[in-house]
Amino acid sequence: MIGDILNLHLDPGPGALVHSINEGLNPQKLNAVLVSHSHPDHYTDAEVMIEAMTRGMTRKHGVLAAARSVLRGNSVVEASISKYHQQMVEQKIEALPKAKFNIADVSVSATEARHTDPDAVGFRFTTEFGDFAYTTDTEYFEDIARYYQGLRLLILCEMRPSGKPWKGHMTTDDAVKIIERTRPQQTILTHLGMSMIFQGPAREAKLIEEKTNVPTVAAVDDMSVEFGEKITLQPRRARTQRGLRDFF
């Protein structure tokens, strides 16, 4: 979420609605839903979030920016958001790699990803405080670093620890290569797979930090990030005690 102007949900996977409410966020205040590709850990609550954003499908509202596969399907996956939900947003954007669009006062560009959904894209956000980006699921490829130059914050999907590659995903070794070539001010590792969890994500983050000298942390549940003059990370968001009636 960015200030009061742009409230976006990026890759609403399983339980996103319930987790949002538990965090004290109000999905009815969303004005954008972004979906990077058509795999269930990234899209299952997209329709639910569109329902919240459009007040139960009673008014056209907000932006849906999603990979081509999410909107239309392709040779390996079905479309993951129904036509019924797609037509309830004010603006629908097919996020092809290198596409640029604006949501509120933030400009967004889709970055290339190489994954088992061939239409997968990451997103780069340009704000008054500089740029941050989210890679989505991708494997390392020669040109990847050019999408992430000049960032303040890189949110990197790292499925696997060092030495355990898996096609379509990144390891700690790949993260080191990208970070060395892009040198963001801060990196956050997310999308941590089971072998990463068993290995210890904090340990892998420390390994990256030692090799690159770029501050790197592994995301934890409930983590909050303030992206302003400074980048402030809080491992656990102070939960606000809110009841449902606060939303109406």
Our CB check for Zn ion shows the closer of 158 and 214 to be: 158
CB of 248 to Zn ion, least distance (A): 34
**Cβ closest to Zn ion, residue 32 vs residue 170:** 170
Q: Are 201 and 192 in contact (CB under 8 A)?
A: yes
Shorter beta-carbon distance to Zn ion: residue 43 or 62 = 43
**Residue placing its CB nearer to Zn ion in the complex, 39 or 61:** 39
Q: Where are the beta strands (DSSP E) in the chain?
A: 8-10, 32-35, 63-66, 91-94, 100-103, 106-112, 121-127, 130-134, 153-157, 186-190, 216-218, 224-227, 231-234
Residue facing Zn ion at closest CB distance: 39
Of residues 81 and 231, the one with the C-beta less far from Zn ion: 81
Q: How far is the CB of 137 from Zn ion (least distance, A)?
A: 4
Phi, psi angle pair for 166, to nearest 5°: -145, 130
- Using the minimum distance from each CB to Zn ion, give the nearer residue, 26 or 44: 44
CB 22 within 8 A of CB 146: no
Contact assessment for residue 139 and residue 174, using Cβ atoms and an 8 Å cutoff: yes
For binding to Zn ion (CB under 5 A), which residues are involved?
39, 41, 137
Please report how close the Cβ of residue 115 comes to Zn ion at its closest, in angstroms.
Answer: 5
Write down the least CB distance from residue 204 to Zn ion, Å: 17
Q: Which residue in 94, 35, 39, 28 sits closest to 62, CA to CA?
A: 28
Instruction: Judge whether 38 and 78 are in contact, CB under 8 Å.
Output: yes
Longest C-alpha distance within the chain, in Å? 52
For residue 79, CA distances in Å to 40, 92, 108, 122, 132 come to 11, 14, 22, 18, 28
Q: How far is the CB of 39 from Zn ion (least distance, A)?
A: 4
Q: How far is CA 152 from the centre of its chain?
A: 16
Q: How far is the CB of 37 from Zn ion (least distance, A)?
A: 6
